[in-house]
């Protein structure tokens, strides 16, 4: 593949369903063209930034490099549809769409709910949910699709518990969040992956969360949803749109990311049996192993930043208004940072991966994600006496968030 083809492949959802092809493209770009201008059909041109050090440099300078107006890679048609929606006043305005003071103020609304103390309080509930999903595996009687039957559900249930949503609403939320992120994949999207599908999923989510805001203002219930509904910035409640956007970013960002890491983590252990044995023998390795799973899977494929002034990255001039794509899976295989980057090492230390980003937008839920992954494997591994593939795994076609959507396995649980 040529450098130009490698660049264009980053804008094709199908590339991310083929890990070997994805990493071949990223390795080539890191080596030959670490700051590469991509002109892919259907997309406004952008610069692909593939080296670890360059991504950190861009994210560090958050007054030069802004999230607005193009925080994620979308087709020019979808960008236009969302811009039109924004002009009408009904667009998502989440943390990832905001910069500067507004971003800081809004991030502070939920920040305490994700700090270590809050995580300690939540751990027992997370462990209980982890136990529930290991029980689901037992009910399947020795064979299941781990991605679909276990990994897709457990993180969403954790995050919806934190928000304080009733369990009866969980299936609906599962469908909507998968449709929002899985637009480009025939198995998860609502249909053809067009702007209309995307905005119709958003309509449904907005309607659900507007209603939730009203109910939590009427009767606060001590959960994160009540915190958001009743928060005041500059003395005023968040408007309906901002509150709904807040729930949506938490429900969506906290779901597919962690699900993909759990499924991809088990797949990595199956493919590296010595690492599985090592982890089963030494539960002290759970924390570094979870970190390695996050690096290995890198479920967030990219975020973007737009230059607010003429600048350069690694000596390449980039004009005001142009966007860079921060290729996290590439940073996490960067040979300059990770010795033996393509080896899954359950005890890797140090592990300075960028799967959670860096700087002021650093993943708000990182501590929660780590805990969820650790808790699931803490409950599962001591009981998992045998595990092997039971068919071909499959990855989501996406340019944003995804990972394994099918992982058929056979196993024995003690």
Q: How far apart are CA 341 and CA 59, in angstroms?
A: 22
3-state secondary structure of 376: helix
The minimum distance between CB 336 and ligand HEM, in angstroms, equals 20
Q: How far apart are CA 111 and CA 106, in angstroms?
A: 9
Q: Is the distance from CB of 382 to CB of 127 less than 8 angstroms? A: no
The widest CA-to-CA distance across the chain, in whole angstroms, is: 61
Q: Which of 249, 268, 307, 397 binds ligand HEM (CB under 6 A)?
A: 249
Q: Count of residues binding ligand HEM (CB under 6 A)?
A: 29
Nearer to ligand HEM, 195 or 297 (CB): 297
Q: Which of 15, 257, 374, 399 binds ligand HEM (CB under 6 A)?
A: 257
Q: Which of 27, 177, 188, 258 binds ligand HEM (CB under 6 A)?
A: 258
The minimum distance between CB 379 and ligand HEM, in angstroms, equals 18
Nearer to ligand HEM, 125 or 140 (CB): 125
> Does residue 355 belong to the site contacting ligand HEM (CB under 6 A)?
yes
> Does residue 50 belong to the site contacting ligand HEM (CB under 6 A)?
no
Q: How far apart are CA 406 and CA 395, in angstroms?
A: 7
> Does residue 363 belong to the site contacting ligand HEM (CB under 6 A)?
yes
The stretch near ligand HEM (CB under 6 A) out of 11-19, 266-274, 279-287, 364-372 is 364-372
Beta strands in 91-131 (DSSP E): none
Chain positions 287 to 326 lying near ligand HEM, rule: CB under 6 A, are: 294, 299-300, 303
Q: What is the secondary structure of 32-100 as a DSSP string? A: H-SEEEE--TTS--EEEE--HHHHHHHHH-TTTEE-SS--S---HHHHHHHHHHHHHT-S---GGG--H
What the block records as the tokens of 361 is 């937008």
Chain positions 80 to 109 lying near ligand HEM, rule: CB under 6 A, are: 95-96, 107
Which of 301, 295, 303, 302 has the alpha carbon at shortest distance from 373?
295
> Does residue 72 belong to the site contacting ligand HEM (CB under 6 A)?
no
> Does residue 59 belong to the site contacting ligand HEM (CB under 6 A)?
yes
Q: Is the distance from CB of 154 to CB of 372 less than 8 angstroms? A: yes
Q: How far apart are CA 376 and CA 383, in angstroms?
A: 12
The minimum distance between CB 93 and ligand HEM, in angstroms, equals 12
The minimum distance between CB 305 and ligand HEM, in angstroms, equals 8
Q: How far apart are CA 24 and CA 9, in angstroms?
A: 10
Q: Which helix (H) or strand (E) holds 329?
A: helix 328-331
Chain positions 175 to 214 lying near ligand HEM, rule: CB under 6 A, are: none
Nearer to ligand HEM, 370 or 411 (CB): 370
> Does residue 329 belong to the site contacting ligand HEM (CB under 6 A)?
no
The residues binding ligand HEM (CB under 6 A) are 59, 95-96, 107, 159, 249-250, 253-254, 257-258, 261, 294, 299-300, 303, 328, 355-359, 361-365, 368-369
């Amino acid at each position: 593949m040529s450098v130009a083809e490698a660049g264009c492949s980053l804008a094709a959802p199908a590339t991310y369903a083929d890990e070997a092809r994805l990493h071949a493209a990223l390795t080539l770009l890191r080596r030959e063209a670490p700051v590469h201008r991509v002109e892919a059909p259907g997309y406004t041109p952008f610069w692909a930034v593939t080296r670890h050090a360059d991504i950190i440099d861009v994210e560090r300078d958050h007054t030069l490099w802004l999230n607005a107006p193009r925080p994620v890679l979308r087709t020019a048609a979808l960008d236009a549809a969302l811009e039109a929606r924004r002009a009408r006043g009904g667009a998502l305005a989440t943390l990832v769409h905001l910069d500067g003071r507004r971003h800081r103020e809004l991030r502070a609304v939920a920040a305490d709910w994700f700090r270590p103390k809050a995580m300690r309080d939540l751990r027992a509930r997370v462990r209980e949910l982890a136990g529930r999903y290991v029980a689901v595996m037992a009910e399947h009687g020795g064979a299941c699709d781990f991605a679909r039957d276990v990994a897709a559900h457990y993180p969403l249930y954790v995050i919806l518990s934190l928000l304080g949503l009733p369990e009866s609403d969980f299936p609906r939320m599962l469908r909507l969040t998968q449709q929002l992120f899985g637009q480009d994949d025939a198995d998860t999207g609502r249909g053809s992956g067009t702007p209309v599908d995307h905005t119709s999923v958003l309509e449904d989510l907005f309607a659900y969360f507007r209603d939730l805001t009203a109910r939590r203002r009427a009767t606060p219930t001590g959960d994160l949803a009540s915190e958001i509904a009743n928060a005041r910035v500059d003395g005023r409640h968040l408007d309906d749109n901002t509150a709904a956007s807040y729930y949506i970013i938490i429900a969506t960002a906290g779901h597919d990311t962690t699900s993909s890491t759990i499924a991809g983590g088990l797949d990595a252990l199956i493919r590296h049996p010595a690492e599985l044995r090592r982890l089963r023998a030494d539960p002290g390795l759970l924390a570094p192993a979870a970190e390695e799973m996050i690096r290995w899977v890198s479920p967030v494929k990219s975020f973007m930043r737009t230059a607010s002034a003429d600048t350069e990255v690694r000596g390449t001039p980039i004009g005001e208004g142009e966007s860079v794509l921060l290729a996290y899976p590439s940073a996490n295989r960067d040979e300059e940072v990770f010795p033996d980057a393509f080896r899954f090492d359950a005890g890797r230390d140090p592990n300075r991966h960028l799967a959670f980003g860096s700087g002021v937008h650093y993943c708000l839920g990182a501590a929660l994600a780590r805990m969820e992954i650790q808790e699931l494997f803490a409950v599962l591994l001591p009981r998992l006496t045998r595990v092997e593939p039971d068919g071909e795994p499959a990855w989501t076609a996406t340019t944003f968030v995804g990972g394994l959507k099918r992982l058929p396995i056979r196993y024995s649980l003690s």
